[in-house]
Amino acid sequence: MTPTLVRQHAGHAGPVPQVDPRARARDWSEIQERMLVPLYEAVYERLEVGCGTRLLALGCGSGLALLMAASRGAAVTGADPSSPERLALARQRLQPEAWGTRARAEVRTAGVRVVDGPLDDLAGLADHAGVRTPRYTLVTAFEPIGGLAGDSEGLGALLAAATPLAERGAPVVLAGWGPPERCATSSVLRVATRPDDPARGTGGPRPPLRDEMEEVARRAGLRPDGSGRVACPFGYADLDSAVRGMLSTGLFDAAMVASDENQVEKELAEALHAHRRSDGTVWMPNVFRYLIARIP
């Protein structure tokens, strides 16, 4: 198969919920994406991302992790063929000159590239203006796996397509949900599994798989070389923002198709209510894992 980004819900075969993809992408960009900032910071600090870094970000979403790397001086390339709406927001954020707006001073936009189309297209971009582009020194796949059954499907093929574009020995970073007992959001994710819908592909109930990232890396021919855990609390201004943020992940799409969209939204709001504080905010402490693997 042609490797494309597979989100947690993408293994579900059948129709997709009737949602506005642009509104969903905006909710991701404005509400949910920042929840993983501690993960991005921890990885960039550990790998000393800076002026000598050439980063390929798989599943770059609306570009926040790319922006953070670019602000450190890295040359960045983002690809997210599964969500053109998020990618459009990433381009607007990272290449504002193309939109007639003033570029952020801290970002060297000349070192930023946002790529449309499948990951295979990157191979055709190796030569630019007759000059061979150096191979990437870092590959990231920050979208966490391990939340729902089947959410790592396709990741191995994606990595297999990406690793030839990187230097030998370059680190590849995968991210995953931590143990359920360390992730308050685990109780909310149960809404994404329908008890009357047998486990099938992505979206079914699953036991925690401690070494799933390691297995994905090994199947892709990568050599695990370190890992870490990062606290990434999910915090929202109110219940409505929490519902919109969680829905923007796509984790609940399969349940919305299998059941009723309004009912899933109602159950999600009820599950989030348990994490609502006296001031109306919603707060869910979580721990995420990351794995550093090397290209042999």
- Residue 48 is predicted with a pLDDT of 98
* Cα-based torsion angle of the residue sequence 234, 236, 240, 242 in order, rounded to the nearest 10 degrees: -10
- Residue 259 is predicted with a pLDDT of 82
| Cross-strand pairs, 76 | 55, 112
- Residue 17 is predicted with a pLDDT of 55
- Residue 232 is predicted with a pLDDT of 98
- Residue 134 is predicted with a pLDDT of 77
Among 17, 15, 79, CA closest to 262: 17
Lowest mean pLDDT among 27-41, 88-102, 136-150, 232-246: 88-102
The 10 Å Cβ neighbour count of residue 99 is 9
| Cross-strand pairs, 77 | 56, 113
- Residue 19 is predicted with a pLDDT of 74
User: What is the per-residue pLDDT across 31-51, written as a single tens digit (0 to 9) for each?
Assistant: 999 999 999 999 999 999 999
6-34 mean pLDDT = 72
User: What is the per-residue pLDDT across 144-193, written as a single tens digit (0 to 9) for each?
Assistant: 998 877 788 878 888 988 999 999 999 999 999 999 999 999 999 999 88
- Amino acid 1 reads M
Task: Name the average pLDDT for the chain.
Answer: 83
Fold of 21-184+202-233+287-294: Rossmann fold (3.40.50)
Among 124, 16, 34, CA closest to 79: 124
Q: What pTM value is reported for the model? A: 0.85
Query: Looking at per-residue confidence, does 67 or 96 come out higher?
Result: 67
Query: Looking at per-residue confidence, does 116 or 139 come out higher?
Result: 139
